[in-house]
Amino acid sequence: MLAHAHFWSIAVTDSVEKDYTVPALARGLSILEMFSPQQRVLSTNEFAENLGVSTSSIYRIVQTLTDMQYLSKVARNTYELGPAVVSRGYTFMASRDIVDIAAPHLNQLRDATSVSCHLAIRDGRDTIYIYRALASQRLSVNVPVGTRLPCHANALGRVLLSGISDESLGQLYLGTQLDGVPKPNPQSLPELRQRIEQEREQGYALSQSDFATAIAAPIRNYANEVVAAVNISGPDIFMQGESIHQAITQQLVNTAAAISAELGYKAK
């Protein structure tokens, strides 16, 4: 009897929850979700086919989405996403603070690798550290928030520079001496260009100094712009070994990709 009553309770709950759904709204949202980078233009027939309904049953939904500029008509019975989707989506992405988005990911990366993780942005030729996930080991590399370092002399900075054009890079460093830092840091603009290109192709940058290693990867936004960079940094005693290096580099790259995805970036 109790089992039957419990089953009846679940059935009633499911029924009540279903009664609160709005089929037209669900269909409207489903229509918007049908668009993708591969399917930028869709017809009403495709809407109906994907929803398993007739074209006449979704006519008012499509018209409402068009009137509210969530859809734009490009031809007879053919539509693309409208400006309302783009503007509201971009506004939402821009309103989210990158530190709030990145911090949980960096904390998780720190816990998984047992080394410190940092988030940085670029200000001209400077790398600015804006967040750190502090490692608990006595031997650790921890750069305080607010620290400024020359971009060309650290992995984070070169990753940030990889997001600007070669022409902009030349203008940024016009007349600037780069040999004030020790090798293997780039000592000239041609060396910096070559290093950035190499690191851009491999998807991460690496710096070594004072018995410590730092590996950095880019954070991209919805417009495919490099807006920040993240790194893992620790003493060589924890970072040495090819297998360890490969493992933590992959974890870093995966973390950067996850943060970028939350900023709206879609990998090609």
Whichever domain contains 133, its CATH number is 3.30.450.40
Q: What is the pLDDT of residue 18?
A: 53
| Residue 133 structure tokens | 């996930």
| Residue 38 structure tokens | 């591969």
Q: Which residues are CB-contacts of 154 (< 8 A; sequence separation ≥ 6)?
A: 127, 207, 214, 216
Q: What is the pTM of this model?
A: 0.64
Final residue belonging to a domain, choices 22, 56, 89 = 89
131/256 same-domain check:
yes
Residue in 230, 233, 226, 220 with CA at minimum distance from that of residue 265: 220
SS3 call for 21 = coil
128/240 same-domain check:
yes
Final residue belonging to a domain, choices 89, 110, 143 = 89
126/241 same-domain check:
yes
Within-domain flag for 179 = yes
Q: What is the pLDDT of residue 93?
A: 52
Q: Which segments of the chain does DSSP mark as H helices, in order? A: 2-19, 23-33, 44-51, 59-67, 83-95, 98-113, 155-161, 166-172, 189-202, 236-239, 242-262
Q: What is the pLDDT of residue 39?
A: 85
pLDDT under 50 in the chain at which residues?
1-17, 95
Q: What gap in Å lies between CA 194 and CA 138, rounded to an integer?
A: 36
Q: What is the pLDDT of residue 2?
A: 39
Within-domain flag for 267 = no
Q: Which residues are CB-contacts of 99 (< 8 A; sequence separation ≥ 6)?
A: 119, 130, 131
238/110 same-domain check:
yes
Q: What is the pLDDT of residue 5?
A: 44
Domain extent, residue 165, equals 96-262
Number of separate domains in the chain:
2
Phi then psi for residue 264, to 5 deg, are: 95, 5
100/63 same-domain check:
no
Final residue belonging to a domain, choices 67, 89, 111 = 89
Q: What is the pLDDT of residue 53?
A: 94
E strand or H helix at 73: strand 71-75
Within-domain flag for 200 = yes
